[in-house]
Structure 1
Amino acid sequence: MTAHPTDPARLRFGVNYVPSEGWLYSWLDFSADAARRDFEDIAELGMDHVRVFPVWPWIQPNRGLIRRRGIEDLLELIDTAAEFGLSVAVDLLQGHLSSFDFLPSWVLTWHQRSLFTDRAVRDGLAAYVTEVARAVAERPNVFALTLGNEVDNLWPANPVTAEESGRWAAELLAAARAAAPRLLALHSLYDAAWYRPDHPFLPQDAVELGDLTTVHSWVFNGVSAIDGPLGPATVSHADYLVELAAASATDPARPVWLQEVGAPQPDVPPADAPAFVRRTAEQVLANPSLWGLTWWCSHDLARSLADFPEREYELGLFTVDHKRKPVAEELAAVIREPRRRAADRPALLCDVDLRTQPGRRAEVAPGSPFHAEWVRLRASGPLAVVPSARAGDRAYLAARGVATVLTPA
């Protein structure tokens, strides 16, 4: 089991771990036996890794207190995953999960201060990142640390500018690397960072600050409204987002991890979900920039838990009583199949460089003319995206596997 996997020829397959008992609230009464049953489900699908979510305020309830018991529960979860041959990526700042924000009291109410700009909060976060990173790095099956799950969703409740958000992420990534130098250190953002012109978290930071780029593909962002649950825009969205990320990086060999992708209802009805899995996977798995695919999520959410958005309850590959769902069967079949990465692809010329022109993000968002043209051409086979500034760079095109560059109609 490799702690710092970098082999570009090997695709990774995993799942974001949502416990079958009690969702993430299960950290408050952790049971290794319950986790063991869940990991058995996951391993039987052929997965090689899980992404796990310790909840920040339950480990650091006070800026000066980091609970050792909380860290020990996390280490026991990691050891339990190892029993089933599963590598582990640890998300640090939860932060935002399934429509809820989990923040400690020392940043709220009378203590209200921005997570991203307040110096005392940043110092407390750095201490938390350092201690958790140092502890989990001792486990050989841990391979990555992500600052948090879609930390950009914590804005605008925590006001921040684009410059400040980049400094915040760079500072915490430096703390993670210092504490755990053998692990991948990653910065994770929801796709508003790629599509919304005024968003203060930038594509530039996504493709430059972490050790690889992560993207989260959710078709409830409006793309499913374009052509339905199995339309070409919907099933190609994950591949499109991976391509935008690859095209925005200065390094043509920088990998992109599809860290979240799922089949949310009602955008993808249960009857269409297996076909959605199949068609989405067939497109994105051919992408030579793809590092791996991590499905959201492992297990459904119990209906007894109140106030979640309706789509959150049935996103799992398994029911809460461990029954394998049709989406799980389809994903397991995909994992077993041999595949080839696309080579000598055509590319669509993009006039927008997201790394240097974030104010133009709407021009490549789902439903834009550029997106529509990419979807139309993608129907004929794998299709890259190349920024116009690099269209004449032969070495760059060769490194991206681009044979010809097409101009939008």
Structure 2
Amino acid sequence: MVLALKRFSLKRVTTSLRLGANYVPSAGWFYSWLDFSADAVRRDFADLAGLGLDHVRVFPIWPWIQPNRGLLRPVDDLLTTLDIAAEFGLEVAVDLLQGHLSSFDFLPSWVLTWHRRSVFTDRDVRDGIAAYAAYVSEAAASRANVFAITLGNEVNNLWPANPATPEASRAWAAELVDVVREAAPGVAALYSVYDDAWYAPDHPFHPADAVELGDLTTVHSWVFNGTSRIDGPLGPATLTHADYLVSLAAAAAPGRPVWLQEVGVPRPDVPAGNAAAFVRGTLAAVADNPALWGVTWWSSHDIDRSLLDFPDREYDLGLFTTDHRRKPAAEALAEFAGTTRAAAARPTAVACPVDLLTEPHRRAEVAPGSAFHLEWVRRRQEGPVMIEPAHVSARG
């Protein structure tokens, strides 16, 4: 599958894998949008370009652009950020609904207090979000280096505070993907959820939505979901989790590209001394997966510890410190960026026991630590292995 994107093909090639970073500003975290400095952005992007990366994913904050359902504020700072990225040869993916970032929810007051209503089910709220999505998407698409627009960062983190059913969550996402496509033709419209959509049997956001909505599948691989407890920070299950999740997504929709949109080194699951080895091992395991489109590391920069109340692991996820020093993870990523990787066929496959498209209530059977996952890890140590979709013949 190849989309007609602006200078940014979704087709895997036999040269370098698409490699980027999720942009967390070094000064002031995302609060920096309230006190925008083009010079600070320019220095941050210089850091990333120096690693040999080719793209960044950026996060405007929804309630600061749409503080009232009928008010859309200028996005000049976002457009400046996109232009600065272009100065460094960086393509950009823009996320719309923040939504949820680093354990904090950012929701406008018009869905809170006595107005409280679900962003997924309330018609007035959905219309307001559609107006916001169209507005920001059209503005972002005016820049030639924007290749993708994602509805939001792990929008399923907004549940259960915002009630939703499987039917409602799918309708919500499908509607907004169409809004983005209409507002930003030629740019990939994407939908992003965290891994409960793949592993939690009662979660109202389903694998079918992740692989059927939008122009490719995005997955977020975090080993603090219990994976690191299976065999330690550098064990086979931990180092192959990204490859496993990409393979699971590929099995649910054969032939559809998968973007590893988030992967990072979380403490204490992976101690600081193991960070570089974790990066190397994770990338070595996933790089030749034939379904993989690209990798975007979380995150570009650490969070200043003067900012309070973040979960402790959030502060140190950056490739760079807040004063722009490269960390061991950055050095390992730079080494990888300088190599050539080719997608390779994987003749060995392990049959998935669950049809994730039709049996989401059985997701626990493929979750980390399940019998199937452990068998896949065992086989993966013998060589590259894919996941064979369940009931392939029944689905045609």
Which category of TM-score, normalised to the shorter sequence, fits these structures? over 0.9
Aligned partner (choices 263, 267, 290) of residue 288 of structure 1: 290
1:60-109 residue CA offsets vs partner (Å, 9 max, x unmatched): 000000001xx111000000100000000000000000000000000001
**Contact persistence 1:349–1:391 (CA under 8 A):** no
Larger RCO, structure (CA 8 Å, separation 6 or more) = 2
Shift of 1:5: 1.7
Superposition map of 1:8-407 within 5 A: 8-9=12-13, 11-68=17-74, 71-249=75-253, 252-390=254-392
Post-superposition CA distance 1:336-381 (Å, at most 9, x none): 1122322142000112011111010000000000000000000011
SS, match of residue 300 in structure 2: coil
Contact 1:348 1:383 in 2 (8 A): yes
Secondary structure of the residue aligned to 1:182 is: coil
Change (3 A) 1:329 1:4: closer
Deviation at 1:391, TM superposition (A): 6.6
- Give the TM-score of the pair, scaled to structure 2: 0.97
Work out the CA distance in 2 between the residues paired with 1:344 and 1:318: 35
Contact 1:3 1:183 (C-alpha < 8 Å) held by counterparts: no
Asked whether the 8 Å contact 2:6–2:187 carries over to 1, the reply is no
Distance in 1 separating the partners of 2:292 and 2:23 = 21
- Indicate the SS of the match to 1:204: helix
For 1:345, what is the secondary structure of its paired residue? coil
Secondary structure of the corresponding residue to residue 374 of structure 2: helix
Asked if the contact 1:62/1:105 (under 8 Å) is kept, the reply is: yes
Deviation at 1:388, TM superposition (A): 3.0
- 2: CA distance between counterparts of 1:215 and 1:293? 10
Task: Indicate conservation of the 8 Å contact 1:4/1:184, yes or no.
Answer: no
SS at match of 2:391: helix
Q: Output the CA distance in 1 between the equivalents of 2:63 and 2:122.
A: 17
- The unaligned stretches of length 5 or more in structure 2 are none
Equivalent-residue separation in structure 2 for 1:201 and 1:120 (angstroms) = 21
Alpha carbons 1:16, 1:295 under 8 Å: kept:
yes
Q: What is the CA–CA distance in structure 1 between the aligned matches of 2:90 and 2:190, rounded to whole Å?
A: 19
Distance 1:136 1:3, change over 3 A: farther
For the residue of structure 2 that corresponds to 1:313, the secondary structure is helix
Q: TM-score, normalised by structure 1?
A: 0.94
Instruction: Name the % identity.
Output: 68
Shift of 1:17: 0.2
Partners of 2:394 and 2:115 in 1: how far apart? 53
| Aligned mates of 2:274, 2:346 — CA distance in 1 | 32
Kindly provide the amino acid, as one letter, of the partner of residue 353 in structure 1: D
2:88 partner amino acid? F
| Aligned-pair CA distance for 1:221 | 0.4
Tell me if structure 1 keeps the 8 A contact 2:60–2:95.
yes
Q: Kindly provide the amino acid, as one letter, of the partner of residue 176 in structure 1.
A: V
Could you tell me whether the CA contact under 8 Å between 2:12 and 2:343 is conserved in 1?
no
Q: Distance in 1 between matches of 2:117 and 2:7?
A: 36
How far does the alpha carbon of each residue in 1:295-322 deviate from its partner, in whole angstroms, 9 at most, with x for none?
0000000010000000000000000000
Distance 1:7 1:200 in 2: 31
Instruction: Write the letter of the residue equivalent to 2:97.
Output: L
Structure 1 CA distance, aligned partners of 2:157 and 2:7?
A: 29
Partner Cα separation in structure 1 for residue 130 and residue 166 of structure 2: 20
Aligned equivalents of 1:270, 1:391: Cα separation in 2? 46
* Residue identity in the other structure for 1:80: I
Aligned equivalents of 2:304 and 2:281: distance in 1?
A: 28
Local SS of the residue matching 2:229: helix
Q: Equivalents in 1 of 2:110, 2:36: separation in Å?
A: 24
Is the contact between residue 251 and residue 388 of structure 2 (CA under 8 Å) also seen in structure 1?
yes
CA contact (8 A) 1:263 1:273 kept: yes
Once the two structures are superposed, what CA deviation does each residue of 1:197-236 show, in whole Å capped at 9, x if it has no partner?
Answer: 0000010000001100000000000000111000000000
Matched with 1:400 is none
The residue identity in structure 1 corresponding to 2:217 is: T
What's the offset of the Cα at 1:2? Answer: 4.1
Indicate conservation of the 8 Å contact 1:52/1:89, yes or no: yes
CA distance 1:344–1:196, shift in 2 (3 Å): closer
Residues 361 and 116 (structure 1 numbering): CA distance in 2 closer, same or farther, change over 3 Å? Answer: same
RMSD over aligned CA atoms reads 1.3
TM-fit CA distance, 1:4: 4.3
Deviations 1:121-140 (A, max 9, x none): 00000000001001111100
Tell me how many residue pairs correspond in the alignment: 390
